[in-house]
Amino acid sequence: MTLLLHTPLIKVKATILLLTILLFAGCAPIISVQTTFDPSVNFKVYQTFMWHPAEVPAPKQGSSGPLYSTLLDQRVKEAIASELVKNGITPDADNPGLIVAYDIAIEPTQEMVSINLENTNFGYGYSYWYGYRYRYDGDGLQNFKNIGTYKPGSLVVDLIDRNTNRVVWRGALDAGIDPVTIDIDKISRSVARVMSQFPPVPSTVR
User: Is residue 15 one of the residues assigned to a domain?
Assistant: no
User: How far is 180 from 111, CA to CA, in rounded Å?
Assistant: 20
Residue 44 DSSP class:
G
In order along its 206 residues, the chain shows pLDDT tens digits of 554 445 455 554 555 555 544 444 344 345 699 999 999 999 999 999 999 876 655 444 444 444 567 788 889 999 999 999 999 999 999 999 999 999 888 766 555 555 544 444 444 455 444 444 557 888 889 888 877 788 888 999 999 999 999 999 999 999 998 877 889 999 999 999 999 999 998 654 44
Question: What pLDDT is attached to residue 67?
Answer: 52
Question: What pLDDT is attached to residue 31?
Answer: 67
In this structure, the chain runs to a length of 206
Question: What pLDDT is attached to residue 178?
Answer: 82
Residue 183 burial class via C-beta count within 10 angstroms: exposed 0-12, middle 13-18, buried 19 and up: middle
- Closest-CA residue to 194 (of 83, 100, 46): 83
Q: Is 111 helix (H, G, I), strand (E, B) or coil?
A: helix
Q: To which H or E segment does residue 37 belong?
A: strand 34-37
User: How far is 89 from 199, CA to CA, in rounded Å?
Assistant: 11
Question: What pLDDT is attached to residue 27?
Answer: 43
**Segments forming the whole domain that contains residue 172:** 30-195
User: Is residue 175 one of the residues assigned to a domain?
Assistant: yes
User: Is residue 90 one of the residues assigned to a domain?
Assistant: yes
Q: Are 108 and 148 in contact (CB under 8 A)?
A: yes
> In this structure, what are the phi and psi dihedrals at residue 55, rounded to the nearest 5 degrees?
-130, 80
89 CB-near residues (< 8 Å, 6+ apart): 46, 47, 48, 49, 97, 98
User: How far is 65 from 129, CA to CA, in rounded Å?
Assistant: 11
Q: What's the count of helices (H) and strands (E) in the chain, helices before strands?
A: 4, 6
User: Is residue 23 one of the residues assigned to a domain?
Assistant: no
User: Is residue 81 one of the residues assigned to a domain?
Assistant: yes
Q: Is 186 helix (H, G, I), strand (E, B) or coil?
A: helix
Question: What pLDDT is attached to residue 15?
Answer: 53
Residue 179 DSSP class:
S
User: Is residue 148 one of the residues assigned to a domain?
Assistant: yes
Q: Where are the beta strands (DSSP E) in the chain?
A: 34-37, 48-51, 90-91, 98-104, 154-161, 166-174
User: Is residue 9 one of the residues assigned to a domain?
Assistant: no
What's the number of domains the chain is made of?
A: 1
Question: What pLDDT is attached to residue 189?
Answer: 96
CATH number at residue 176: 3.30.160
